[in-house]
Structure 1
Amino acid sequence: MADKNVQPFDIKAMEKWLENFFLDPLTSYMDEIAFRVDIFETETEIIVEALLPGYERSHLSVYVEDNVLTISANHKPNQEAYNHHTRTRKMEFPCSIINKQIHAVFQNGILEVILSKTTPGTGKNRKIAIS
């Protein structure tokens, strides 16, 4: 059952945002230079899927700040500074997402960040634990 205090996503704004995200040439460019990101929508969730082969859970971080979801992948093959590689993708949603429950799962090189449309979150900017 949905919590009555949770603000629903604006469906029209979300559809327009998804359309713009996939039609924006910068999205394809970022898929090539950082890492590929896909977005899926179900009736109750928005799923952001990042393809990160070669990374481990400990290399990843997910952070939400107001309406921005940031995924960073920090790959250090060894401790030498010149081998330090950080790749970051930021997705700016059409509405605040800090009031949504968000969790992340990393398995087989795929990070899924799941934003609930119906379950409330903390309402604070925060780092998301990855399981």
Structure 2
Amino acid sequence: MGNKKSSNPCDLNGIEEWMNQFLRDPFTNFLDEYTFRVDLFETSSSYIVEAYLTKQPIQKIVLELNNNTVTIFVSYESDQNPKERTIELPFFIENKHIEVQNNQSILEIIVYKEGIEERSSKIIALEI
């Protein structure tokens, strides 16, 4: 029998490999400069995506959840072109319990490991 890699989101080696790949991707550095920087953290109870937004006034923030990706759309008052960043996660996110916090120029998306949340929409719009 051959060894197969597990795609189980509770597999710590899989999560660590995914985070290392995300951080080593040279395209990630380009996106950090062109759109906004994104960092990923893991705690015992959640995964945290932090987006570092510029200090210019924000008009609107929208999150779109799709299978294992979350796309962040940020519209600034001074810019006609919204910035967009898609983060691929190693698990399906659509039914996960998610909490979003906007603390000045840092957007925190907290995805809890436990708990399921039924949503009527895959879109989360934040009030600014």
TM-score (norm 1): 0.80
Task: Tell me, yes or no, if structure 1 residue 92 matches structure 2 residue 88.
Answer: yes
| Counterpart AA for 2:90 | P
How many residues align structurally? Answer: 119
| Counterpart AA for 1:89 | R
**1:126 Cα deviation after fit:** 1.2
CA distance in structure 2 between the aligned counterparts of 1:91 and 1:100, rounded to whole angstroms: 15
**1:90 Cα deviation after fit:** 0.2
**1:125 Cα deviation after fit:** 5.8
Quote the residue 1:54 is aligned against.
Answer: 56
1:33-52 mapped onto 2 (5 Å cutoff): 33-52=34-53
1:123/1:66 Cα in 2 relative to 1: closer, same or farther (>3 Å)? farther
As a proportion of its length, which structure holds more helix?
1
Quote the residue 2:20 is aligned against.
Answer: 19
| Counterpart AA for 1:127 | I
**What is the percentage of aligned positions where both structures have the same residue?**
33
1:58-97 mapped onto 2 (5 Å cutoff): 58-77=59-78, 83-97=79-93
Q: RMSD value over aligned CA atoms?
A: 2.1
Structure 2: where are the runs of 5+ without partners?
1-7
Runs of 4+ in 1 over 4 A off after TM superposition: none
**1:98 Cα deviation after fit:** 1.3
Structure 1: where are the runs of 5+ without partners?
1-6, 78-82
CA distance in structure 2 between the aligned counterparts of 1:47 and 1:125, rounded to whole angstroms: 21
CA distance in structure 2 between the aligned counterparts of 1:12 and 1:55, rounded to whole angstroms: 40
Which structure has more relative contact order (CA 8 Å, sep 6+)? It is 1
